[in-house]
Each structure stands twice: as C-alpha cells, then as structure tokens.
Chains A and B, each alone.
Chain A
C-alpha cells in the first residue's frame, strides 16, 4: 500500500472518530445518562441507529462519548510523553556519555523495568480510579519511549557534518538540538506518536475494562465491553460495537502515522518522484 493511500485511509478513519468525539461535546442523539428500561436491548434501526443496551441507553451516543474520553486520555498521555521525553532525549544525546546522559537513561531503564499496565493499575488503585489518574499512569510510561527514540535518532545526527558546521558557527548544544536535530527527527517522532497514541487508546480501554478508568455514568469503550460480556451470546452486538470502535481507531491511527512519515520527509518525497 502506498504512503498516499495509507494516509488517506488512516486519516479518514481517525477523522470519523475525532468528529464523532467533537460532535458529542455539543450534541448526541440520546442522553447517555438517562436509563430507559422500556427501550432496553433494541436492535439497530428506528430511533436508535445502533440499538440500545440492557438499560435502554443509545449505543451510538455511548460510542460517541466513549470516543471522547478515549481520545482525550490517549492524547494527553502522548502529550506528557512527548513533552517530557523528547527534551530529555535531546539533552541526553547532546551530553553523550556525560553524567546527564547516564542519569536520564538509567531513569528510563527504571521505568521500563516495571510492567506498564500493572503500574497503571497500581496508580489508579492508590489514587482512586478516575480518567485523570489513567492519563497520568499512561503518560508516565510514554516518557521513556520518547526519550529513547529521540536519543537514538539524535545521536546519529550529531555525527553529521552539518552539525559540525553549526558548531563551527558557534552555536551551543541546546540551540543545535532545537534548530537542527529536532526538525530532522520530527517524522520519527510523529510515527512514534501515532503508535503511542493507539497504544494509549488500548491502555485506556484496558483500564476502564477493569473499572479503573473513567467512572460511571461517563461511558467508555472499555467498560462497554466489560458490561456486554455477560450477554455476548444473546446480544453479541453490544460487545462487537465497542470492540470494533477500538480496532478501527487503532488501525486508523497506525495507518495515518505511516502515511504521515512518508509525506513529511522531503528525502522520501524525492525518492518517490
């Protein structure tokens, strides 16, 4: 699949969910907090486009609001990871083999040594389950990922002649990092960002599946899955719909990341021509 097709397909998939999430801020077909036992377990069609769950809540509305919390959690978590991890990685690469490099990378090793989801469960268990704590837990584990990727890519750039030329021009390490290194690893970070974004969505779904994410009555994809579990043989659609939402969102983000990398890099553009 060419980069262009990937970008369009992935962008379209992601855009559908982003739009649905944005729309849910101002309008949803039905109130997701209102229980309507009379309309419980309706099949798709009629007033309820995707049917209703066992409490008579509209599935479409719940998926839309669920997209909102999934995206918000993953986005902020990636933001934390990038915002802290990338500067740390740049710093470590600029002071290669110095004590700063050692400290940053050993801290990374420390975080890496813990299984991410278990710690996330621990954090939410200690601080209490909430969307905010889920963000924090997922965000912290994004930091070493971005620091590693940034440092690795930056180290190979530091040996290039144009970095040497910039040093001859008297530029300091911080300035070179921002002006020369960062733009040249941006495409890598975007790809990594989209991967971490999709992992974040998976992690959020996992946490809310075990009840440690966004709390009721706020709907979330993970909890919708958990609640549908008991009815999976009688009403499979209740589990299939949130599951499908997670799969398509993650797929869309990954395709978009790959496509973006091809589109953003002027060197790859030239080869394609």
Chain B
C-alpha cells in the first residue's frame, strides 16, 4: 500500500537518511527500531512532508500510486489526516490545552470538509468510544488536563484515526507511559490495525515492544536501514552486527556478584507525607492527599535496592523526603544512624553521605557552567578541598571520561556522557548512598547497558549502596539485590529481586510483570 523507495534526506549537505526503503501493506505493522539520532523520526516526518526548513528529500514515497514527495503543500495538507495519521510521543503536549477533546477530534473532519460540525462531533463521539473513552465518563466537553497520560494518548489516537487513514504513524507512542498503560495502548493500536485494515509504522527504541506487536521489523542506524524482515526472523538470525548488539544490550545483565553487608545504612520507618488538597468549597477543607503512606524499609551498606512503581505512586515524593528536600508528616528517616531532618537545614556532614542522579540528562545541569564547576558543586557541603581539581579529574576518569572534559560545556556531550557526568557529580563527595531516580530510563539500550556496567563496577570498587528508582522491571532485575514494589503510596511487596520477579505474590506486582513487554530472544 505504501512503499518508500530510496528515501534520502539531507540538511545543508549533511545526509540524515540514506536510501531508506520499506513497504507496509494494509493491516500490517512495521516496527522501525533504532537509537536516538538514527533517523527514525526523520523518516516519519519525511513521509508526512513535515521536514524541518532547509531539509531536502530525494527518492520516492508512494502511497496508492501517488508519489508524496512530488505533491505541493496544499495537496500534502489534504493527504495529512485523511490518508496518513500520526501519533506523537508526548501526549501532554500533543493536545491543545484550551480546546475540549471533542472539538480536537472533530477538527480533523471539519478541516477536510468531510462533515459539518454537528456530524463531526457525532463522529468524534464514535471514535472516542472506539479508543476506550466511553461517553459516560468522558463527555466531549472534557479538557486535556482532566485526563491522565494514557487517556490523552487515546485522544491523540482518536484524532489520528478520525478519517480512517490508510497509514498510521506512531512515533514512540508509549515511551512516556507506564507499563500497564503501555500494554493497553499497544493492544488498542493492534486492534485498530486489524479492524480498520490500516498500515501501522511503529517507531520505537524498545525491541521488546516491537517483538510483541509488529509483523515486520526494520533496524535503523545512522540514517540507514541495516536489516529488515519478519520480526521473528530478524530477532532469531540477527545477521547484522548492529542488530546483534542491540539485542544483547536489551538483555544486558552486569555480571557482578556482590555481597552486601548486614549493617543498615538507610532506615525508613513509617514515613508519611501528606499534601494539602485545594479547597473545593469555601468552608470545607478536604482531607490531605497522602502521597507516601507508612512506608518502612532498609538499605544496607553495599546493597542495591530497587523501588518500582508507576507514575503517581509516590516514589518521587519518597525520594525527595530521603534526600531531605521535603518534610515528613510522620515516621522518620535515618541515614547512618542520624535522623534526616527534612525541610530544615540539614547538617552538611550528613548530606555529604548521599547524592542523587536524575532521569533527564538534559535538565540536570546548568547550561552556563563548565563541567569542572558542575561536578564540584557538592563541594559546597564539605568546603572546597585543596586537591579539588585532582578529585574532579579522578571522578571523570572513574566514570569513563577524560580529565580534559572538565573544560567543556554540557551541551558538547551526548545523553549517555551527560549521565556519566551526573554520576561523577554524585561521586565527588565520596558518598555512601546514591539515589538513582530513573537514571537510565532516558538512555538508548546500548548506552544504558554501558551505564549499568559502570554502576555495577563503581559499586564493587567503592562499596556504594544504591536506591534505584525505576518503572522498568528489566533494569531493576539487572542491577538490584532487593526490590520494593510501591502502589498508591504503600509498599505492597518486597523481597530479593529474583524471587519477587519470578514468583510475585501481590496482585499488583503480577499485573506489572504481565504488562511489561518481554523480549524473547531465540538462541
């Protein structure tokens, strides 16, 4: 139905795509897999005719006998929405916050003069019903901010399929969503493809997602498709070394066998954190929202503990309380026997014993400072030691960078390198506990494997303890000794990682495990 033949895109002489060719039939799903910067999204934009200014496309994109690259902008506008629909990664920003969901879905129909406004609204209603947003709970007048991330993505899907396009392009449609939500959205997409006989181009970095969904798989690297074929064949044969590297990195497990000690380092006992709720009526003050509810656990010296849960379960709040950034309403947190007096000014000597690495390698650094100053920031706690420069260099070397990197600015580094710098910053005060808040979630699989190796190695060398917060069960399995499963502010299950993941007891843990996409790699 759609055939991309020798598609090449260049911006100012720099090639971004080289000779990309693939085809998708009706009712078929093609998974396009690659790391960030490999040209996956550029391929989608080229098909949609939405390339950034200055980009030039060559080759052919043939949809039902028409070459899309040859069409004028008004002709292309007619194609978009009618023949090709697209879903984006970030459902939070893909919807207009000041328009109701009904209007946004109906808009596509009205623009293409497929219906009058009232007909369009009726069609929008049917579409929303189809994507699992029934009239009773989700009337057309709802606004995006009243919906959760998964529900917003459903609205985006309803918009994309409003005119029953032949081709649907989904660019990382579930990357921003929780595992259980991801499973439901993927199910929905699969059902729609079968029902409507659409073609689906599923762009993702996650091989496991493709493995469970797609009919065919194309692996992309540096603007080229290095290997493509039926999913099972590609995953079994792995002819191209890059495919092999990707598959191995996805299943990576740092092979360190470490024995944690029995001495406790971090003790959390009955921690409670309440947030006041906004008043709904003038005199009635609503009960506070309990984000963390009687949570108790321990991290021993040299131990790596995973904390798993979906967004909104309270894991970030708990992290901030442990770091002494938010006060508790009950219970206490002790680090190395000393109470963490959250909210008030904590003793520098206590603060020095823990540090944190955040998820977003782009937002974690002040863009105006050089690396040396960024890494040395925690010296604020200890006073700047005489050998500060040497320690900055040492920290850089220990995370696999060179001492010369300290003169650079942060935007000169890739995401993986930035995460290494974040780890270097966390190591500089020689802490005992490092809190890793989704620290590898934003990284490509191969980079993620390297960072996991680095973390395992640092733990073995420096005797560190980790509190590893993640929604990704696979990563938790790779790096932790024990795991805590958190739901709605409570810890519902805890135990040795292997045991919990192999034989979960709590229904929520079972649900999480069932929803997580698994990459079964045939030997």
Contact = CB atoms under 8 A, between A and B. Distances in A.
A55 interface: no
A165 B356 CA distance: 7
The interface centre, meaning the residue of A161, A164, A172 with most chain B CB atoms within 10 A of its CB, is A161
A4 interface: no
A170 B354 CA distance: 11
B380 interface: yes
B380 A266 contact: no
Given A161-B363, A183-B368, A167 B325 contact: yes
B346 A170 contact: yes
Given A161-B358, A161-B360, A170 B366 contact: no
B367 A168 contact: no
Contact of B351 (A160, A164, A168, A184): A168
5 contacts: A164-B358, A165-B356, A168-B356, A169-B381, A184-B366
Nearest to B358: A161
A98 to B, nearest CB: 14
B187 interface: no
Contacts of A172: 345
Nearest to B323: A168
A50 interface: no
Contact of B368 (A167, A170, A184): A184
A172 B356 CA distance: 17
A164 B325 contact: yes
A170 B363 contact: no
Q: Lowest 3 A-B CB distances belong to which pairs?
A: A161-B358, A161-B364, A169-B378
A210 to B, nearest CB: 43
A40 interface: no
Interface string B345-382: 11010010011101110011111100000000110110
- Interface SS of B by simple majority: loop
Given A165-B358, A165-B425, A171-B380, 5 more contacts: A161-B358, A162-B365, A168-B324, A170-B346, A183-B368
A183 B409 CA distance: 14
B142 interface: no
- The size class of the interface chain A forms with chain B is 10 to 19
- The size class of the interface chain B forms with chain A is 20 to 34
Given A168-B323, A169-B378, A267 B367 contact: yes
Interface in B310-324: 323-324
Contact of B381 (A170, A175, A184): A170
A47 B324 CA distance: 76
A235 interface: no
B117 interface: no
Given A162-B365, A166-B377, A266 B409 contact: yes
A255 B95 CA distance: 35
B367 A170 contact: no
A20 to B, nearest CB: 35
A170 B351 contact: yes
A72 B354 CA distance: 52
A183 B358 CA distance: 22
A174 B65 CA distance: 64
B411 interface: yes
Contacts of A170: 345-346, 348, 351, 378, 380-381
Contact of B355 (A162, A168, A270): A168
B384 to A, nearest CB: 12
A45 B409 CA distance: 56
Contacts of B377: 165-166, 169, 171
A146 to B, nearest CB: 20
A169 B422 CA distance: 13
B392 to A, nearest CB: 14
A97 to B, nearest CB: 11
A180 B422 CA distance: 16
A167 B324 CA distance: 9
Contact of A162 (B351, B359, B363, B411): B363
Nearest to B377: A169
Nearest to B360: A161
A186 B354 CA distance: 32
A175 B323 CA distance: 19
A263 B231 CA distance: 49
A24 B363 CA distance: 49
Interface string B88-116: 00000000000000000000000000000
Contacts of A266: 367-368, 409, 411
B409 A168 contact: no
Interface in B321-350: 323-325, 345-346, 348
A164 B356 CA distance: 9
A169 B348 CA distance: 9
B366 A180 contact: yes
A121 B488 CA distance: 61
A107 to B, nearest CB: 25
B325 A168 contact: yes
Nearest to B422: A165
Nearest to B379: A169
Nearest to B374: A162
A171 B376 CA distance: 13
